[in-house]
Amino acid sequence: MATAASACAGTGAGEATASPPSRRILVGGRPPPPRVSFLSKSSPGWALISLPPGPRRVAPAAAAAEERVEEEEEPAWVELEPIGSEQQLDRALAEAQQIGLPIVLLWMASWCRKCIYLKPKLEKLAAEYYPRIRFYCVDVNAVPQKLVNRAGVTKMPSIQLWSDSQKQAEVIGGHKSWLVIDDVRRMIDQEE
């Protein structure tokens, strides 16, 4: 008696076959596990895969290990929150002052190549200091010039550390991004 796998081996790529219900073999009084067919890119025919019935079973020790990993896992990167107005900056500074934490501001421009390269690296750095320090980014072309002047930004990218609603330190990112990240890390560690 031919099984579904041997019946499908001789079919072409355009044909779909399914074993008729009368050809199924009962093993131990139970029907065989359900089969799923899909078109394989490597072979011109159909392939059959047996899926075990019922939910996936996980050993208790493995489940406990998975839960521990999920609880201990920290984010790989934290997206920099954008600031688009003076009111948003004032709100961020007030929140930080209220909880007693400093914030880091990246002053950048969308056309600045060094700013674009630096932003993802700062997002990784933000994950290291999450949730102790919040990181924000400000596009100087999208905010009023009054805000840029208030922060004293003259070159980009500029990374500033603000605490108690005052600028405490600044790193101007004109050199290689890994050096800038090291400078920003030192700036934050000196403040803490």
Which residues are designated catalytic? 112, 115
* Rounded Cα distance, 186 and 192, in Å: 10
Residue type, 61: A
DSSP string, 130-152: TTTSEEEEEETTTS-HHHHHHHT
Closest CA to 86 of 149, 174, 4, 10: 149
DSSP string, 113-127: HHHHHHHHHHHHHHH
